[in-house]
Structure 1
Amino acid sequence: MKTMTTIRHLLSGGLLLSLAACDMAPKYVRPELPVPADSPQGPAYPQDGGAAAVAAADTAWRDFFVDPRLARVIDTALANNRDLRIALANVEQARAQYRVQRAGIFPTVSANGSATYQDQPFAQQGPGGGAGGISGRTDIYNASVGISAWEIDLFGRVRNLSRAAQEQYFASVENRNAAQVALVAEIATAWVTMAGDQERLRIARGLEAAFGQTLELTRARFAKGIASELEVRQAQTSYDQARSDIAQATTLVAQDQNALNLLAGTTLGADDLPSTLPEGDVTLANLPADLPSTLLLRRPDIAAAEHQLRAANANIGAARAAFFPTISLTAAFGTLSLGLSNLFGSGSDYWSVAPSARLPIFDFGRNAGNLRYARATYDAMVATYEKSVQTGFREVADALARRGTMTAQLEAQTSLRDSAQTAYRLSEARFRAGIDPFLTTLDSQRALYTAEQSLLATRVARAANMIELYRAMGGGLK
């Protein structure tokens, strides 16, 4: 028992020395944000987000996406998307690696048992002076508990390696969160795109019918000698263009559905797919526009970059500690006997303690090279972190600039479409009355078609802009 107590005291002392060891890593200081403190200002940017605006990172995606069909598709994707599963598996890998690295702080206690059987001859003088052979058999049994080559972390090398692995694990968690944010935005954008293509198909079909009627009327007038063949050919071109647009839109709708199925990780039901672009918003419209740049730190990709930076800082500490002595401890407590029945008998116990120290003297620059590599890696991680912040600021600024002008553009495109509709009705009536030539009516039809397509593109862009702004501000995680 006294021997066991001695070893226990050695282990306790080694643990206390490891936990109280000095830390060779530089003190971590978060770099200053390399972007303006406030959101960009100017005529392209909205002045405020409304009195009831809530930060995107605090807005759950179920609350932001108000269309129930879209919400169901996002929920399905979060449960089945393969990229998200890969990201989750990467988190588990990083967690396991952290546990492996952290275990190096503590001694590994193992139990060992062995048996040795020996039969050795030895010479002895026989009767009459001759030599005779007598063999002697020896059975040795051993059982022990101990630790082997446990590094007492006096200079923080093992602890810094453990801290670096922990930060890598945290970074993998944030990368998984960033993958979710990106997935939510991507599938919402794909859903809106499909809704827009469905609407484009509806417009093309409607105009095909209108162009078809015009074509039939022109052919009838040509048969009566009222219209020329040129007018028939002109009407035919508009009708054929609408038919071509129908075929193209049909293809796009099918491809949009394939893209949604891939993102969702399964085949979506028809009830969850859009049949047309809703007249109302598919998202909330009261996200704030004037926010401090520090809120960018809540973006998962920026948080992941900072964890990578912290890991690089810890690796500098591990590289510095390699210049100092490494102290290891091997100890064992057990029992040894010449017979199995006496293995645990009185007087058979033994113990051994073997501390060792190793100090690098000539390593031909290996440790110095590792330290330079760790510092260069840290510098690269600083640049990566700052680039992530700048990229996030640019994405938010771009989305805000688009949002600030989108309302005026939508109003203008709506007015343009309404004017084109009125012009088409008037020109058609004047053509039927014989006042205007057919070319005026044909131009009005084409102008209306273009205005319808432009208004639809603006509506799709507005919905996509709100989704992008939500993603850029860090929304989509909750």
Structure 2
Amino acid sequence: MRKLLILFASSFILFGCSQGVKLEAPELDLPKEIASKSLKGEAEKKKELLPDKFWEAYNDPILNELVEKALRQNEDILIAEARIEQALAMVRYVGADRFPYLGYGASVTRQRTSEETIGPKPGSTYTTYQLNLNVQYELDLFGRISSQEKASLYRYLSTLHGRDAVKLSVISLVMNAYFDLLAKERMVEVAERQLQTLKEIYNLREKEFELGLANIQVVLQARSEVEAVEQTLKSLKQERELLRNLLALLVGESPAKMFERSAKTSLSFPQALRLPPLLPSEVLERRPDIQAALEELKASAYDVASAKAEYFPRITLTSALGYQSIELANLFKGGATFWNIAGLITGPILDFGKRESKVKLAQAKQREALLNYVKTVRTAFKEVQDSLVQLEMLEGRIKDLEQRLKTLEELYQVSELRYKEGLSRYLEVLDSERALLSAKLDLERLKADYYKSQVYFIKAIGGGF
């Protein structure tokens, strides 16, 4: 018996050492800083982080209202909240095994003893009445229950970060749809002006044709340009309605009322956000998807520990206290009292590889969680770098187009002046206006892309979560 106890204690010590769970995130060979090349000189001066409610930095009341309503009413966020409730319930469910179980029992048994048995009345028939309280408690010497509880706790934390990831995704979708909608509103206005200009050009070409000053090819070309812009205008209006429908889905209600107060005035882009020129790479650690992957990795480590604990015996203490009698009238008399205390040790001898397979399964899932964490981190860095490339490219294109717009505006003003002085025909004014409006359409598209790239960058660095 003494040797058995020594062996048991030794195995406990060895198991305790082997069950030490290390929860350190793997080191990855990644850049220490994230910097924009176009802002490199400015980046050396300071390091900034975005505000938690980064969408408010645009100072756009309509955008703020859309985002806040989405955070309260979006179904994807509500689903994520439900997952949190599930995970928290699982933590409590698993954690309850650390405490003693207190229950009750009541039974009525009718039986007949064998005539061949040893007892006071062989072959007798009688009824037994029993009422009792029972207590059961498992000694968690090998960490099976505590490992399960910690695994469920880390999965709960993972669902919290998962909820934040869903929030960030929904906010990004709302902002992108809103900026696209702003662009479409402006583009519809420009396209309507462009259509009016092209119709005037077409009418002038027709008059020239009637007077023999232009051939039919010029007239048909003018008509085709009118028809093309008419189709463009229809497409823009259709896209505008689709974006409103998307916002309605994301926000959880129709956003039409939010735009009513600005219906009399043209919606326009807010001031572009000033993004931080330099960020430490550690800022990506706050990305909710990275945090969720890390917590899942921690949970998988405790899953392995719990599976390994199955190799060792379970020690359970049980106790019962109650009344037992063959006469119901005597059930609560002092002599009918009974009690018992027992200890139970159960463990595996031969299970045909069941426990070993469970350990291998847990280890394989841990490996999957590790690879998923590494992939999530590397993907995060790629998304940040991609967003910086997009921002720098779009900044350059917008500057070039704005310079071209200045030239076209000067050309338009010159053509107007020449027409007023009688030095040119009105057709020259319309042609220069057409080119100017076409460039403005391109600028609105680029602005929408630039604002969406800002949102992409904000999402890539984890927003304010």
C-alpha separation in 2, matches of 1:225 and 1:428: 25
Residue 28 (structure 1) aligns with: 23
C-alpha separation in 1, matches of 2:220 and 2:203: 12
SS in 1 for 2:33: coil
C-alpha separation in 2, matches of 1:445 and 1:235: 14
C-alpha separation in 2, matches of 1:235 and 1:373: 71
Give the letter aligned to residue 343 of structure 1. Answer: L
Give the letter aligned to residue 111 of structure 1. Answer: Y
The structure 2 residue matched to 1:226, chosen from 184, 208, 213, is: 213
The structure 2 residue matched to 1:370, chosen from 354, 358, 373, is: 358
Give the letter aligned to residue 341 of structure 2. Answer: V
The structure 2 residue matched to 1:451, chosen from 439, 442, 452, is: 439
SS in 2 for 1:140: strand
Distance 1:435 1:67, change over 3 A: closer
C-alpha separation in 2, matches of 1:304 and 1:461: 30
Give the letter aligned to residue 129 of structure 2. Answer: Y
Residue 93 (structure 2) aligns with: 100
C-alpha separation in 1, matches of 2:374 and 2:41: 27
C-alpha separation in 2, matches of 1:136 and 1:369: 51
Q: What is the TM-score when the length of structure 2 is the normalising length?
A: 0.85
Residue 370 (structure 2) aligns with: 382
Residue 79 (structure 1) aligns with: 72
Give the letter aligned to residue 267 of structure 1. Answer: S
Give the letter aligned to residue 84 of structure 2. Answer: V
Q: Deviations over 1:243-263 (max 9, x none)?
A: 111111111111111111111
- Structure 1, 28-37 or 171-180: larger mean CA deviation: 28-37
Give the letter aligned to residue 154 of structure 2. Answer: E
Q: Please say if 1:202 is aligned against 2:189.
A: yes
- Structure 1, 139-148 or 298-307: larger mean CA deviation: 139-148
Give the letter aligned to residue 444 of structure 2. Answer: L
- Structure 1, 361-370 or 82-91: larger mean CA deviation: 361-370
- Report the CA distance between 1:174 and its aligned residue: 0.9
Are the counterparts in 2 of residues 23 and 156 from structure 1 also a CA contact under 8 Å? Answer: no
Q: Deviations over 1:327-378 (max 9, x none)?
A: 2233211122333443332232211223222222222222222222222221
Are the counterparts in 1 of residues 58 and 270 from structure 2 also a CA contact under 8 Å? Answer: no
Q: Please say if 1:409 is aligned against 2:397.
A: yes
Are the counterparts in 2 of residues 332 and 353 from structure 1 also a CA contact under 8 Å? Answer: yes
Give the letter aligned to residue 372 of structure 1. Answer: K
Q: Please say if 1:332 is aligned against 2:320.
A: yes
Q: Please say if 1:358 is aligned against 2:350.
A: no
Are the counterparts in 2 of residues 25 and 320 from structure 1 also a CA contact under 8 Å? Answer: no
Q: Please say if 1:240 is aligned against 2:227.
A: yes
The size of the alignment, in residue pairs, is 441
C-alpha separation in 2, matches of 1:290 and 1:469: 13
- Report the CA distance between 1:410 and its aligned residue: 2.1
Q: Please say if 1:215 is aligned against 2:205.
A: no
Distance 1:231 1:350, change over 3 A: same
C-alpha separation in 1, matches of 2:360 and 2:112: 58
SS in 2 for 1:362: coil
SS in 2 for 1:226: coil
In structure 2, runs of 5+ residues without a counterpart are 1-11, 116-122
Residue 419 (structure 1) aligns with: 407
Q: Please say if 1:268 is aligned against 2:255.
A: yes
Q: Please say if 1:278 is aligned against 2:268.
A: yes
Residue 119 (structure 2) aligns with: none
Q: What is the TM-score when the length of structure 1 is the normalising length?
A: 0.83
Are the counterparts in 1 of residues 194 and 437 from structure 2 also a CA contact under 8 Å? Answer: yes
The structure 2 residue matched to 1:175, chosen from 162, 168, 178, is: 162
SS in 2 for 1:141: strand
Q: Deviations over 1:65-101 (max 9, x none)?
A: 4100111111111121111111111111111122111
Distance 1:65 1:25, change over 3 A: farther
Give the letter aligned to residue 370 of structure 2. Answer: V
Q: Deviations over 1:85-132 (max 9, x none)?
A: 11111111111122111112222210112234579999xxxxxxxxxx
Q: Deviations over 1:440-477 (max 9, x none)?
A: 87875654344222211121122112222222222254
SS in 1 for 2:131: strand
C-alpha separation in 2, matches of 1:52 and 1:187: 30
- Two-structure CA RMSD over aligned residues (Å): 3.1
Q: Please say if 1:346 is aligned against 2:334.
A: yes
- Report the CA distance between 1:177 and its aligned residue: 1.0
Residue 5 (structure 1) aligns with: none
Q: Which has the higher contact order (CA 8 A, sep 6+)?
A: 1
The structure 1 residue matched to 2:56, chosen from 48, 58, 63, is: 63
- Structure 1, 174-183 or 423-432: larger mean CA deviation: 423-432
SS in 2 for 1:39: strand
The structure 2 residue matched to 1:320, chosen from 299, 308, 317, is: 308
C-alpha separation in 2, matches of 1:113 and 1:95: 34
SS in 1 for 2:106: strand
Are the counterparts in 1 of residues 112 and 124 from structure 2 also a CA contact under 8 Å? Answer: yes
C-alpha separation in 2, matches of 1:198 and 1:449: 15
Residue 178 (structure 2) aligns with: 191
C-alpha separation in 2, matches of 1:460 and 1:50: 29
Q: Deviations over 1:34-89 (max 9, x none)?
A: 42111146x45554469897512x43246334100111111111121111111111
C-alpha separation in 2, matches of 1:341 and 1:49: 89
The structure 2 residue matched to 1:465, chosen from 453, 456, 463, is: 453
Are the counterparts in 2 of residues 197 and 249 from structure 1 also a CA contact under 8 Å? Answer: yes
SS in 1 for 2:319: strand
Q: Deviations over 1:17-37 (max 9, x none)?
A: 9xxx77825322221134211
C-alpha separation in 2, matches of 1:113 and 1:368: 40
SS in 2 for 1:257: helix
Are the counterparts in 2 of residues 49 and 286 from structure 1 also a CA contact under 8 Å? Answer: no
Q: What percent identity do the matched residue pairs reach?
A: 27
SS in 2 for 1:457: helix
The structure 2 residue matched to 1:152, chosen from 109, 131, 139, is: 139
SS in 1 for 2:324: strand
Distance 1:422 1:203, change over 3 A: same
C-alpha separation in 2, matches of 1:272 and 1:73: 10
C-alpha separation in 1, matches of 2:285 and 2:424: 66
Give the letter aligned to residue 397 of structure 2. Answer: Q
C-alpha separation in 1, matches of 2:432 and 2:88: 65
Q: Deviations over 1:239-281 (max 9, x none)?
A: 1121111111111111111111111111123333776552542
